[in-house]
Structure 1
């Protein structure tokens, strides 16, 4: 009889070999207590958090927490139903209103996760006979949305404007086309040339969806993301985002100005057939989104942190994913998985948590230590982080 788990044997063996060396499992860390957006207790010791995507540090904001507590009292612990049945409470409508205000768009639709937002929107609007043209480094949720919708998938080389144009020229002019892009790519923290890509997409009759999960809140004059920063947000048909990054809660969303957008509430399966998020999470999210509208000082400090860390790591001799800081993500390239895991553990012992990212999630088979900065990291903490990287890097022989 065929063992359905046999396809995972290479990964099982790789994990076994890694753990047999005595290394801590880098994919099973437990945070015993979280003290702030930037500090937690891990393995019994105080640890600086540099791998949480908590970009704007909203998880411990007093107003955000208070709104969630009040909604807990007013609406209970959960919804026990889908948004199209009994799962729409006042906070769900309120957070959608906050998103419309934040993006200055006509429509907003909230999903239970950011993954489901991509899965739902992409699979619903592009189906059999349509074409989805996407960057080859797109997030797993984008690829899964493509598969679920049964559209033809056409991939192009990462951030290559010319490659996108060549793909579009080859497609039938009359066919339905959706170009899917990301503002910031989460592995290397690099930014897409959206202005040119959106222009070319529109010239070839394609609709455009941009995932701004890793740019919402701090890129752009109003924190609306890379499309705002590059001046092309009015030409983007759909923006996907998540609450689990800058907003500091959980959930996903899509905003749009398309006049027929609201019909998606009846035809989008990951929206229709999923229980709605708890009202407490929605109330916290709405409060956070509205506070992010006035977060210019925090955005400025986050950029300062990113520039300081990027330069410091480069000066120490680490190989980084980008020549210059482009976002709050800084990827440190490791020689291989084994030494990447050793470096990750050495940092943890220094009291610093980062993400260990490995193939196939990473581009070009790279092993990365992915750092995501927070607006609540102090200047002193960033310098402390550099000191810990230096000690760990020398101990492992990376620098």
Structure 2
């Protein structure tokens, strides 16, 4: 058997020559086989043997700088956050073993929702077990058969899946194209329910949406607006409320979706809203009603982290410094980047193809740097990317070290 390739990856057929249900994955299996055939480490199966801090871990037995974890504000090792989780574990046990509408709402869940309402200065907050589930639940519940959803073509998979589950008519438009969005809105039949879905920061290239103008157009055409701020919450905006706050249009957003697995530093998802009827969602949103609630220790860490992010101005400023420095350094060394200027904590380095992207990823790992390798179909325009996610806990010296690693690896692989 070829090293690094599982025998189970080989195509099979059922008795009688009929293909099995895995046959549709054969092209991807072949692509993976070719990628790993020469001893290339699998970029999608890395094990972190030990995590030392928000910015460092032990991978393959060596200390590695983390530049691909979405830990934007570095809250995973905050002493107050850890202490809150330990205390909740002692006081309430390891899990709720129930749905939020049954026995799964503990004091901590309410406190977490209160922290979110305070953070966003909104009337309602609803906590889900994951960010994916938040999009799945909210979108599928508020937009159903006979309604129309107008959304950016580069929307996250959880948004697309929420649309599919709700069975609304889905009308995509070209990425960040305000005119295209407006044309599609104007074609929707009169009297139909309309929901526009946007993201503050798009996770692959790290670019931001022109939310102010897009929300204005949506409202002029009678649509409600949902904005996913997963990659901007905690970091972008004067109070860390995201791109909508930064562009001065948060009050015009009907629903803000977010996650705890990025700047908050734990796991879970949420929706905040000022809609007066929002609380009925707790009874009609199936992914909320039929899923066990988050463990007490998780909501305790989330609530503590959210309250600390309200006062995270210095960390936000330092993260912007890191983003500008890394972007400028990579650009000056000849790398092709996803944005002309840094727009978020995500910096995407565009690779010529998957093979060289994987080789570059491995070269960086051997240097002691972990980044994300992103490939189609998750990426726009069939691009292969090395996606760098900066952290407020990265020091200036670490950013300099990272730039040196990129330069050496890029020259070794022939990218620059």
Query: Are the aligned partners of 1:302 and 1:374 in contact in 2 as well (CA < 8 Å)?
Result: yes
CA–CA separation in structure 2 for the residues paired with 1:20 and 1:87:
48
CA–CA separation in structure 2 for the residues paired with 1:182 and 1:162:
17
Tell me the residue number matched to 2:194.
177
Give the counterpart of 2:175 among 149, 152, 158.
158
Tell me the residue number matched to 1:121.
138
Tell me the residue number matched to 1:297.
314
CA–CA separation in structure 1 for the residues paired with 2:162 and 2:267:
20
CA–CA separation in structure 1 for the residues paired with 2:30 and 2:94:
41
Give the counterpart of 1:74 among 64, 84, 91.
91
Give the counterpart of 1:63 among 80, 83, 86.
80
Residues 1:358 and 2:375 aligned together: yes
User: SS of the residue aligned with 2:97?
Assistant: coil
Tell me the residue number matched to 2:288.
271
Tell me the residue number matched to 1:396.
413
Residues 1:288 and 2:305 aligned together: yes
Residues 1:220 and 2:237 aligned together: yes
C-alpha displacement of 1:173: 2.6
Residues 1:317 and 2:334 aligned together: yes
CA–CA separation in structure 2 for the residues paired with 1:177 and 1:82:
30
CA–CA separation in structure 2 for the residues paired with 1:137 and 1:173:
27
Gaps of 5+ in 2: 1-17
C-alpha displacement of 1:273: 0.4
C-alpha displacement of 1:21: 1.7
C-alpha displacement of 1:2: 3.6
Tell me the residue number matched to 1:195.
212
Equivalent residue pairs, number: 399
CA–CA separation in structure 2 for the residues paired with 1:153 and 1:216:
26
CA–CA separation in structure 1 for the residues paired with 2:177 and 2:39:
42
Query: Are the aligned partners of 1:64 and 1:284 in contact in 2 as well (CA < 8 Å)?
Result: yes
Tell me the residue number matched to 2:271.
254
Give the counterpart of 1:112 among 107, 129, 136.
129
User: Which structure 1 residue ranges, 4+ long, deviate > 4 Å from structure 2?
Assistant: none
Query: Are the aligned partners of 1:173 and 1:205 in contact in 2 as well (CA < 8 Å)?
Result: no
Residues 1:92 and 2:109 aligned together: yes
**What TM-score does the superposition give when structure 2 sets the normalisation length?**
0.96
Kindly report which structure 2 residues correspond to 1:199-214, keeping only aligned pairs within 5 A, or say none: 199-214=216-231
User: SS of the residue aligned with 2:359?
Assistant: helix
Residues 1:22 and 2:39 aligned together: yes
Give the counterpart of 2:345 among 328, 335, 347.
328
Residues 1:235 and 2:252 aligned together: yes
CA–CA separation in structure 1 for the residues paired with 2:138 and 2:26:
34
Kindly report which structure 2 residues correspond to 1:128-167, keeping only aligned pairs within 5 A, or say none: 128-167=145-184
CA–CA separation in structure 2 for the residues paired with 1:327 and 1:292:
17
User: SS of the residue aligned with 1:201?
Assistant: helix
**What TM-score does the superposition give when structure 1 sets the normalisation length?**
1.00
CA–CA separation in structure 1 for the residues paired with 2:326 and 2:401:
10
User: SS of the residue aligned with 1:35?
Assistant: strand
C-alpha displacement of 1:260: 0.3
- Please report the RMSD computed on the Cα atoms of aligned residues, expressed in angstroms: 0.4
Query: Are the aligned partners of 1:209 and 1:239 in contact in 2 as well (CA < 8 Å)?
Result: yes
C-alpha displacement of 1:16: 0.7
CA–CA separation in structure 2 for the residues paired with 1:75 and 1:142:
33
CA–CA separation in structure 1 for the residues paired with 2:211 and 2:189:
23
CA–CA separation in structure 1 for the residues paired with 2:71 and 2:189:
42
